[in-house]
Every structure is written in structure tokens, then in C-alpha cells.
Amino acid sequence: MANKKFKIKKGDQVEIIAGDDKGKRGEVLRVLTKKDAVIVAGCKVAKKAVKPSEQNKEGGFVNKEMPIHISNVKKVEG
């Protein structure tokens, strides 16, 4: 299987062009090539339930950025 090439890289500024967060801008935190998705800081935030662990003694809910399909973002200068 060939490696996929994307024009969007980690650290780029992007704008969401579709979905609930349409119009928001943020920095790419990760590029998920297997899912054709990116994770953008501050966009598509979901509450995730976490069990108590060594790092998080109490557990509870954590806000987490979820992946956005790469076709729903565009690179912007900035």
C-alpha cells in the first residue's frame, strides 16, 4: 500500500469549510493518514468519559478534539 500524500501538514493553519464548526480556524495537531483526517486545535471538541487512572485519579469527563475529514478543511495563510 502506497503512502498517502497530503498538502496539509502538522502545524499548518486551516479553516473548517463544512460541518458544525464551519468557519472556525485552528492549527493542525495531527494528521491521520489511515483515516484521511486531521485533528484541529479547538475544533470538533467532544466530552469523553475517562476511568480513574494513575495520571487522573478522579476520572470523569475530558474535552477532546476529534478527527475531521481532510476534505472538510482548507489551508489558510497565517
Extents of the domains making up the chain: 13-75
Q: What is the pTM of this model?
A: 0.83
CATH class given for the domain over 13-75: mainly beta
> How far apart are alpha carbons 73 and 9 in whole angstroms?
12
Q: Is 22 helix (H, G, I), strand (E, B) or coil?
A: coil
Tell me the pLDDT of the chain (78 aa) as tens digits.
Answer: 567 788 999 999 999 999 999 999 999 999 999 999 999 999 999 999 999 999 888 999 999 999 999 999 999 986
SS3 15: strand
Residue-level pLDDT at 23: 95
Rg (CA), the chain: 15
Q: Are the beta carbons of 18 and 72 closer than 8 angstroms?
A: yes
From CA 22, how far away is CA 38, in angstroms rounded?
15
